[in-house]
Amino acid sequence: MTALGTSSTVAVVGTGTMGQGIAQVALVAGHRVLLYDTAPGRAAQAAGAIGSRLDRLVEKGRISADARDAARASLSPATALAELAGAALVIEAILEQLPAKQELFTALEGIVTADCLLATNTSSLSVTAVAGRLRHPGRCVGLHFFNPAPLLPLVEVISGFATDEAAATTAYDTAAAWGKQPVRCADTPGFIVNRVARPFYAEALRVYEERVADPATIDAVLREGTGFKMGPFELTDLIGQDVNEAVTHSVWQAFFQDAKFTPSLAQRRLVESGLHGRKAGRGWFDYSEGAPRPEPRTAEPCPAPASVGLYGKLPGPAAVLRELIEEAGIKVTGDRTPGAAEGFLRLPGGVRLALTNGCPATTPAQEKCIRFDLSLDYRAATRIALAASAAVSEEDLAEAVGLFQALGKQVSVIEDAPGMIVARTVAMIIDFAVDAAARGVATPEDIDTAMRLGVNYPGGPMEWVERLGARWVGDLLDSMHHQNAGGRYVPSSALRRRADLEDLVL
């Protein structure tokens, strides 16, 4: 272990929510902590706020009164930057403005000792650029905590182009000693979480812009259909639309306006209107007192069919549907079709019911087809989205709705669109993750850890590609690219290589 000992002083510059949270983490871990802010009196106010939070931890039995008293005694506001001279680690949590961070670290370099570690908590700026003006940039590392820092376990440890390996290791081990789960990451736009998570927001916004479904329905399908803790619209309202949009725009610009990272015009208009989410009282949803929350689109109860045909094998997680259908008392017939390209169900009225594959349900041949959306766990899912082709009648659609209702699922019927909601979102997240791993941004294990702990995903995307298969994901994205030319859905070369390797093994 090369973690800083508790006898080492930690300084935090910037006393907003994140700065206070990081200071609290270091205090509880046993360090002496100095707080500094350029605004007069702000550091003292922050110290008082931290003390109040420590009191609440005592009330909840999380820490002892003695530990609280020791932490309070170890916390000191600084009135000048020069007072940080004895710190072994300085963590900045100031505004996300590169010139301001560069100016701060340049000033600190003339104050602190030669072996003092300088860390930036930036969520979207280049660590390499932050350290670019330093005489000794090797001591600068990214320590990206997630808000609220005292509660969320993940810390991304980012090595800039010039960061010394020893500095990154000390930062990693120190975060671990503080009870956090650190992951290592190269200095690329968005690091791990803000890079790989972009499709979770972007695809939901695109689905909304395409008028496939409303925000409440999109949220419900992702939340109840596959286990995300919050839907993208309610989550961005919580984060702040201005904050989320700024990160999206920053990552897009940093990737030279790559189509895969294109921001949403709908979100831009929301931000321009001042509808920034919960903190503004309104974003995608109205948070004013007494305002009703919109309900997701949910189909009325329909009778279940007495039997369905199964032809071929349903792909990936959908294979369990046969068991669920039989457990619901519905007879399953068929079971094989020679040469079938994909497994599907046949409803009594003749409709083909199949997992979305990136193509719309409507075909030039006007086949009667209904697509159902992906779930990572159909047994646990409580909501499924359906999309019908133009040839499907109301009676045909009712049979499909009744089938899934008999399995204990609520059903949201959405407009016909390639990839529907969950499938396109999960496929894009997987593609981003596989690409990041191939480019050495982080290890597959660290990517999965970051996505589970940083944004509370129901699993890691590198795990998902193992379950779904890279070929299935790549084919779905290829189909979507055929429907939406422009480059957004072109599978990464890393995903294509992985799919080719799967084919060789099979």
Q: Which residues are catalytic?
A: 123, 144, 156, 194
Q: Are 82 and 40 in contact (CB under 8 A)?
A: no
Neighbours of 157 (CB within 10 A): 28
| DSSP-based three-state secondary structure for 439 | coil
- Quote the DSSP letter at residue 155: E
Q: Which of 332, 344, 327 is nearest to 379 (CA)?
A: 327
What does the alpha-carbon distance between residue 174 and residue 148 come to, in Å, rounded to a whole number?
Answer: 18
- Phi-psi category of 399—alpha, beta or left, where left has phi over 0 and alpha has psi -120 to 50? alpha
**DSSP annotation string for 313-347:** ---GGGGGHHHHHHHTT-EEEE---TT-SS-EEE-
* Cα distance between residue 356 and residue 476, in whole Å: 8
DSSP conformational letter for 469: -
Q: How far, in Å, CA of 113 to CA of 189, rounded?
A: 30
Q: Please state the three-class secondary structure of 159-209 as a single string.
A: ECCCCCHHHHHHHHHHHHHCCCEEEEEECCCCCCHHHHCHHHHHHHHHHHH
To which residue do tokens 């015009």 refer? 265
Residue pair 423/373 in contact (Cβ under 8 Å)? The answer is yes
Rounded CA-CA distance 14/101 in Å is 11
Round to whole Å and give the CA distance between 263 and 252: 7
Say how many CA atoms lie within 13 Å of 371 toward its Cβ.
25
Residue 117's nearest CA partner among 170, 76, 158, 187 is 170
Distance CA 113, CA 89 (A): 10
Q: Which residues contact 349 (CB under 8 A, 6 or more apart)?
A: 368, 393, 395, 396, 399
**Around 61, how many Cα atoms within 13 Å sit in the side-chain half-sphere?**
0
How far apart CA 42 and CA 39 sit, in angstroms, is 6
Is-contact 447 461, C-beta < 8 A?
A: yes
